[in-house]
């Protein structure tokens, strides 16, 4: 069951809130429609329910708010707009990636494809899907974790009649299995055909909450309820005038002295009855709203009405309820309206008495002897004791034989005012339940990575041949295809670009937790992206060196492919350079939420940071760090195993190089910025 209480959006600039105190229920095993015209607040209400937008209120899904549910995607399946994903990703690849994010078996992807009937499109690209197929894929994404509740915003928008009928059948089947379904629509006929209960919104407020039978009878076809001893004669006159004026008016003769008139209004029917001297006992519009008390109370409270006016509102509401009962309104609806009017009256009375002193006039019976004995006479200055005291106010009462006048005294403190609904804050989604598997499927699901690697290999091969032709470059730069004129080799730039793509899918095409907004900056997801980026960079570095060596051996012979003497330190420096560029791209894309910013951070290392590091290292110095590895070995309690001091010395020499030092400085700064963006919201 979905229970929404007091959903209220934040006020806009000089405009009322898009949603104001919306409360309703969507029962289990039923399909509930949230109906309203465009700009009526349907989407805003759904976003407030899912904690995607700030405001006030609370929504319970089977008794718990969304942020209290350990795995929201397993409880609530959401469809908001079009499917978010990279256009080049396949349908099956998208679902398999979301399976890793939700922590469900990968076989579930094939199961939901069969449920929604798009198994034949499993290899189709997302960018090539039609509107109907996109809706089916969106429903498959919502059903992926087998949730109990479905929340769908305009699922049938833009669909043909056949596709809409199929979609409604799926929703009905989910509800029949014990699930809860809530969808929004602006088509009243669609709501009447599909839903079991219809909640109608107008200008951000709930104006009706009805069963589908009452909705179809009242709001789908608004009618005028007429009760007259001459109902048959009035019906004939109304039909005659409608034919004369060429209007579409339908008159239905109910039992006895009742009429139901469709296509007309109270003013026209009243004028007709007046012209023909027909007595009318009841004449009321029936649109299935929450009852006439709400509007009367709102107007009365706005102008500081007395309780006598509020009592009159209650009496008018009771008359309207009895009239509805005479016109065969369901007993449940009559009872709900009657209770609503009484509770609204009590709440309005409490609100008025707490805000300002008012004079209240109550018609009452003469006091009984017991009442007269309960306190001093009416002309005495003492105040009689109230047999039913209320804690919110004290009253000074003057009793007369027929009229009791009460002056309400405001409470001493505003602490007794009803509290506002709790604030709704946007809480980030949890990281993928299987982050490493998710990242691998994300990176391998599109052709961008493969095309980038192929371009890097081709450019590196051409540069290696050109450098070998000149014959002035060392062998290490020759195998890496790194000419002196370029700030970075193609392999490092390609690794940085692939790293910058790591967060591109989530920020441009949110695939993770589509019901909770953009993928957050989480440490688990970051570690998975760093591991995958490092593995990709190492593979690219080995592939570049191997392909360049084979090409040089083929073109120029064995002379240029000999293994250098310092191959260990050179290889470590090469791999560290490529991995560092990849990590810089990942961190910059995560901090700035942009693929372009990630690539810019990689290019900024040799262009901006390296000159600064060179200037700092080549400046005048009095002391140097010569002999540092030996001193570290002397300080150690035990000797380094397997010649560990040599690796330490090689690492220090690599950092001392301008490019290595600049790259390490950049990665450290980006990592600190990323951690700051993660920890700052938690600290707040």
Q: Which residue has the tokens 């079009």?
A: 82
Joined tokens for residue 383: 């105040």
Contacts of residue 84, defined as CB under 8 A and 6 or more positions apart, other chains included, come to 509, 510, 511, 514
pLDDT tens, position by position, 153-176? 999 988 888 999 999 999 999 999
Q: In the prediction, which pLDDT does 43 show?
A: 93
Regions of the chain short of the pLDDT cut 50: 288-416, 514-515, 517, 637, 683
CA 439 → CA 112, 442, 532, distances in Å? 22, 5, 7
DSSP run (H or E) holding 537:
helix 523-556
> What is the model's pLDDT at position 573?
82
Angle formed at CA 314 by CA 313 and CA 316, multiple of 5 degrees: 65
Is this model's pTM higher than 0.85 or not? no
The Cα 89–Cα 86 span in angstroms is: 5
Rounded to whole angstroms, what are the CA distances from 134 to 81, 82, 164, 331?
10, 7, 13, 43
Distance CA(122)–CA(649), nearest Å, equals 53
Residues found in the chain: 684
Strand 250-253 to strand 223-227: parallel, antiparallel, or no bridges (unpaired)?
unpaired
β pairing state of 22-26 and 2-9: antiparallel
Segment 447-488, tens digit of pLDDT: 999 999 999 999 999 999 888 888 777 888 888 888 888 888
Residue 654's pLDDT is 56
CA 178 from chain center: how many Å? 24
Q: In DSSP terms, which residues pair with 78 in a beta bridge?
A: 151
What is the per-residue pLDDT across 85-117, written as a single tens digit (0 to 9) for each?
889 999 999 999 999 988 899 999 999 999 999
Residue with the two structure tokens 């005028």: 224
| CA–CA dist 229, 463 (Å, integer) | 101
Q: Quick count: other Cβ atoms within 10 Å of Cβ 348?
A: 22
Identify whether the C-beta of residue 515 lies closer than 8 Å to the C-beta of residue 101: no
- Token reading at 386: 């109230």
Alpha-carbon torsion, ordered 284, 290, 295, 300, to 10 deg: 110
120 burial level (CB within 10 Å; 0-12, 13-18, 19+): exposed
Burial 467-476 (b: 16+ CB within 10 A, else e): bbeeeebebb
Q: Among all chains, which residue has been given the structure tokens 């990630």?
A: 598
Place of tokens 């099956």: 92
């Amino acid at each position: 069951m979905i229970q929404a209480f007091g959903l209220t959006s934040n006020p806009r600039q000089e405009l009322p809130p898009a949603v104001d105190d919306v409360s309703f229920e969507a029962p289990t095993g039923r399909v509930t429609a949230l109906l309203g015209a465009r700009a009526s607040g349907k989407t805003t209400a759904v976003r407030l329910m899912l904690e995607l937008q700030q405001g006030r209120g609370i929504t319970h899904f089977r008794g718990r708010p969304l942020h209290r549910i350990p795995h929201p995607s397993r409880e609530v399946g959401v469809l908001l707009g079009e499917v978010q994903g990279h256009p080049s990703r396949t349908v099956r690849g998208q679902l398999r990636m979301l399976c890793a994010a939700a922590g469900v078996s990968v076989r579930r992807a094939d199961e939901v494809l069969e449920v929604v009937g798009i198994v034949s499109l499993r290899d189709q690209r997302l960018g090539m899907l039609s509107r109907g197929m996109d809706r089916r894929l969106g429903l498959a994404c919502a059903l992926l974790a087998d949730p109990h509740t479905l929340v769908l915003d305009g699922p049938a928008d833009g669909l043909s009649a056949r596709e809409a009928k199929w979609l409604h059948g799926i929703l009905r089947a989910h509800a029949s299995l014990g699930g809860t379904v809530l969808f929004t629509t602006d088509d009243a006929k669609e709501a009447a055909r599909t839903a079991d209960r219809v909640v109608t919104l107008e200008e951000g407020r709930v104006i009706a909450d009805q069963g589908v039978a009452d909705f179809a009878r009242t709001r789908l076809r608004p009618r005028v309820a007429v009760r007259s001893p001459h109902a048959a004669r009035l019906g004939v006159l109304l039909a005659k005038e409608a034919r004369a004026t060429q209007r579409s008016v339908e008159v239905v003769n109910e039992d006895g002295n009742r009429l139901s008139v469709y296509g007309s209004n109270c003013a026209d029917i009243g004028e007709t009855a007046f012209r023909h001297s027909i007595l009318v006992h009841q004449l009321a519009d029936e649109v299935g709203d929450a009852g006439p008390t709400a509007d009367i109370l709102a107007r009365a409270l706005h102008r500081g009405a007395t309780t006598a006016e509020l009592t009159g509102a209650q009496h008018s509401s009771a008359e309207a309820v009895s009239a509805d009962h005479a016109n065969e309104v369901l007993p449940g609806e009559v009872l709900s309206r009657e209770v609503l009017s009484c509770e609204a009256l009590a709440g309005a009375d409490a609100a008025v008495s707490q805000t300002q002193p008012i004079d209240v006039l109550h018609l009452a019976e003469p006091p009984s002897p017991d009442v007269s004995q309960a306190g001093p006479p009416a002309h005495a200055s003492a105040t009689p004791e109230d047999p039913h005291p209320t804690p919110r106010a004290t009253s000074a009462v003057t009793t007369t034989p027929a009229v009791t006048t009460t002056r309400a005294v405001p409470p001493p403190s505003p602490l007794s005012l009803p509290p506002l609904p709790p604030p709704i804050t946007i809480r980030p989604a949890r990281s993928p339940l299987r982050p490493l598997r998710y990242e691998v499927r994300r990176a391998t699901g599109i052709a961008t990575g493969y095309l980038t690697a192929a371009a890097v290999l081709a450019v590196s091969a051409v540069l290696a041949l050109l450098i070998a032709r000149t014959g002035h470059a060392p062998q290490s730069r020759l195998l890496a295809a790194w000419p002196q004129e370029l700030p970075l080799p193609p392999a490092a730039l390609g690794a940085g670009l692939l790293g910058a793509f790591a967060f591109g899918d989530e920020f441009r095409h949110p695939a993770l937790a589509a019901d909770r907004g953009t993928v957050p900056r989480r440490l688990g997801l970051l570690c998975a992206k760093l591991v995958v980026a490092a593995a990709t960079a190492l593979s690219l570095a080995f592939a570049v060196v191997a392909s360049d060596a084979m090409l040089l051996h083929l073109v120029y012979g064995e002379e240029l492919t000999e293994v250098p003497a310092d191959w260990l330190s050179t290889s470590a420096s090469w791999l560290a350079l490529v991995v560092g560029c990849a990590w810089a791209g990942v961190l910059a894309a995560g901090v700035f939420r942009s693929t372009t910013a990630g690539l810019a951070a990689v290019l900024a290392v040799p262009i901006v940071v390296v000159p600064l590091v060179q200037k700092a290292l080549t400046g005048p110095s009095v002391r140097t760090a010569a002999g540092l590895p030996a001193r570290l070995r002397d300080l150690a309690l035990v000797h380094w195993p397997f010649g560990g001091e040599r690796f330490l010395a090689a690492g220090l020499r690599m950092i001392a190089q301008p490019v290595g030092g600049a790259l390490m400085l950049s990665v450290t700064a980006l990592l600190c910025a990323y951690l700051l963006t993660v920890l700052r919201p938690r600290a707040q």
